[in-house]
Structure 1
Amino acid sequence: MALQQQSLLGGGNTTNSEDTSSSNNNDEGYGSLGNESNPRYTNNSALEVQRLSSTAETFFHIVCITAGTGILQLPYALKTGGWAGLAFIALAGAVSAYTGKILIQCLYYKHGVRLQSYSDVAKAAFGSRGRLIVRSLKDFNLLGVVGIYIILAGISIDSLVVGTPVEQLGEQFWIAMSAFAVWIAIVAARQVHDVFVLSVFGTLTTVVMVVIVVWLGIGDSGLIGSRPPTKVINIRTTPISLASICFSFGGNLNWPELEASMKSPKKWSKALSLATAFIAFIYASVAAVGYGVYGDNVRSPIFLSLPPGIAVVTAKAMVTAHVLLACPILLTAVFMEAERDLGISAGALGTTKEWLYRAAFRTVLMLAITFAALFVSDFSKVVPILGAIAASMVVFVIPVACYIRLFYEQRHFSRYELAWSGLIVCIGLLCLVIGTTQALADL
């Protein structure tokens, strides 16, 4: 997910954490919180969280957040790195699942207490400065990605309406309409459970797009006279291929909010593992078909290599729909944490006031994103630079650093686990260097 990452929660009644501590320990490090029979829990804040999402809902949220436009670049990633890119997809999936698991464990590092957010984990590990750095990187990345998605949606809609009576409305109009649609969703939704339908449709649009791309690619293979050349591995450009694939799995900025919404948080690892495996499967399918059929002649995005027609138009429409459906989920992670800090809750303000304050706050931020998407010069080129910096650190490096820091005195780390953690940090730093270099080159 080169520009993706990419969440949510709400309020309820309090429970007695002492009553649940003895009955809700598990091997995942979840401490005493998140009882399936009592979906609400208290934590280290005066605010409360309501657990409403099933494991299936969480699966859809993860897929919708992670499997986005980055999937269209994967055949080109194989062109860059060769068929070894399929192994890179498996590696990146394993890294994503691992960092997502340990990040959630960090929320429960202190028995009987659940930290609320990724930023709180950074504060526990590295103090207030750590929280400030992670919060800034995380929020900028998510807000910037949403801005990029809105631009992409507007441009895509404008291309889809060519030849219709509304084609003269232009890109700016459709960007504004895309932002308006996202605004309606984020004002209406209060917590992750409220956007479940968006995640289902977002996942379905991705599946439809994948089916179309694979179907067209296989169908086109019989029409190509001589098979384009391919390679097993390209050592010189392997780091670029690995970095682009790893970015396509970035999504753990949202995992604390998703886990906080689950009725059964003990099943977080199961939901994450299944979702990551599914994402890796569709990634590998598109990458293998795209590179296998078009070889080193494959273009990015893969649409440019496919035969034109209604199927490609449909696939483009699916991408547009997915982008718009993912935006509210990405934004809620930023909004909910900020609203907790500002004390915008039903308990503190009452139901009516809470809704009005929340709607006003989200509207102001949405207007800022829309303004940047419409009027800020080179917004779509500048954001990827900072996004590459933010994503590489908060997706790969910082979860590992926080995990080791918080659990170093509580448990013994084997040499294999430390070596695996070191590999993840190296991959993250590689993504940092390559992602930033590529983004600067695109300016």
Structure 2
Amino acid sequence: MSAEKENEIYEARSVHSDKESIVDLMAERPEQGSNLLAYANVVCVVAGTGTLGLPYALRLGGWISVGIVILSLLMSIYTAILLMKCLYYNGKYRLSSYQEIGRHAFGKPGLVAVWFFHTTIVLGAPIMYLILSGTEMKGLVPNDAISVKAWIWISAAIVAVPFVAMKTLKEVAVMSIFGALATVVLVIVAVRGSIMDLSNPTYANVGHDTVILANLPTTVASISICFGGNVVYMHVEEAMRYPRSWNRVVAVALFTCSILYLATAIPGYITYGDAARSPILENLPKDVFTKIGTVVIIIHVILAAPILLTSFALEFERLFDITVARRGKIMERVYRTITRLIVVGFCGIIACTVPYFGHFLSLLGALGNCTLIFVLPILCYFKLIGWRHLKWYELAWCALIVLIGVISAIIGSIDAIKALKESIEKDSQ
């Protein structure tokens, strides 16, 4: 028997023999949260404010962008399932984080790469949420005595309350239900405004394209990033009472996000066509419903920020052994409170002071999101579990996902660099 054939048999036996151990590891956890809370966590983080940018994505790529949304959905579900298999790959114990997956797969370089991109997203997104909520609050309350920076700090203080008070995603998940409902309200506002503007003569002669080849890579990059939830998946699954339901929960949650995306994107593009803006609220009628949409955005980002920050804090606290067993109940609480207040303060300072941060975040987000969502889950799965047991069409599917992830990262990064360069040149004039 050839060495290659022996490897194939060994690999197949290893995968089969680990199944019973993995089932034991994924047994019911009575003290954890329900599938509904896990579902709400994923929807709240993934759907986010990206929902309002989808009509503009259709403007960039044309109607083919609807297909790209569906393709991104399928790829995201697949990689989310592979990532969780990596978490239990050895059948003996559950890895604690995405960073641990990277370390087990590729050693220290894998750990550093995952940590860098993961930290950029779980800290960068809340910083952008603070900027967004502060700006929108300033627009809603035209009081010159309160600056945008003051509103940012007010937002940070609001975010700090649940972030400090609630230890894990099991507790924070209760907030995510309201965040997910806020996203639904936001979609209703956007759809209602799009329908109201169908008879608006301003948009009577807007154009629609089937496909715009020149903009297709950028469209793929922008839509792919809208499915970024891998940074919290490990902690969402950890907080589930029934972890064996993960595949079903993540599939339904991402499908829900896609429905919200398409429900906003299609009516918005039909009405506004090549005049669509991002966010779509800039196109909508300036009435009380659009103001409601603005309020809902503020509510959503304030509720979503603690979920991402908690994901970061759990990794940080695990790294520095801030646990009840190590520190005692009282001191664990003290250390955790101080640490989390420092994290919120850091986010508030960056949100208020760093110029061009949005462009830097877009650059790192394009690299980080696409890498963490599409590329690394497959590479880690191949390294930890193997690829020989996969069918040819599964390998082809994996290759397509990695290719799209790499292209999206490159194109998204190029666009962010161009925007950064334009801002610097504009300010220097």
With the length of structure 2 as denominator, give the TM-score of the two structures.
0.91
> How do residues 32-431 of structure 1 correspond to structure 2 at under 5 angstroms?
32-36=24-28, 38-39=29-30, 51-162=31-142, 166-224=143-201, 226-408=204-386, 412-431=389-408
Shift of the alpha carbon at 1:285?
0.9
Shift of the alpha carbon at 1:304?
1.5
Give the Cα separation in 2 of the matches to 1:312 and 1:356. 42
- Aligned residue type for 1:98: Y
Give the Cα separation in 2 of the matches to 1:371 and 1:105. 38
Give the Cα separation in 1 of the matches to 2:65 and 2:362. 23
1:169-228 CA-partner distances (Å, limit 9, x unpaired): 110100011111111111101011111221011011100010011011112213347352
Structure 1 segments unaligned to the other structure (5+ residues): 1-24, 40-50
Give the Cα separation in 2 of the matches to 1:208 and 1:430. 33
- Aligned residue type for 1:122: G
Shift of the alpha carbon at 1:247?
0.6
Give the Cα separation in 2 of the matches to 1:103 and 1:227. 46
Shift of the alpha carbon at 1:34?
2.9
Give the Cα separation in 2 of the matches to 1:129 and 1:298. 42
Residue identity (%): 34
Give the Cα separation in 2 of the matches to 1:112 and 1:318. 44
Flag the 1:85–1:197 CA change in 2: closer, same or farther, 3 A. same
- Aligned residue type for 1:143: L
Cα contact 2:121–2:231 (8 A) shared by 1:
no
Bigger mean CA offset, 189-198 vs 222-231: 222-231
Give the Cα separation in 1 of the matches to 2:280 and 2:241. 39
Give the Cα separation in 2 of the matches to 1:360 and 1:170. 27
Give the Cα separation in 2 of the matches to 1:301 and 1:407. 41
Give the Cα separation in 2 of the matches to 1:423 and 1:151. 36
Structure 2 segments unaligned to the other structure (5+ residues): 1-17, 421-429
Shift of the alpha carbon at 1:295?
1.2
Map of 1:19 onto structure 2: none
1:379-414 CA-partner distances (Å, limit 9, x unpaired): 2332221222211211111111001111117x6121
Cα contact 1:31–1:110 (8 A) shared by 2:
no
Give the Cα separation in 2 of the matches to 1:167 and 1:98. 49
1:350-395 CA-partner distances (Å, limit 9, x unpaired): 1111100111111122221111111222223322212222112111
Shift of the alpha carbon at 1:300?
1.8
Cα contact 1:227–1:293 (8 A) shared by 2:
no
- Aligned residue type for 2:59: K
- Aligned residue type for 1:430: I
1:108-160 CA-partner distances (Å, limit 9, x unpaired): 11012111100111111101221122112101221111111111110010011
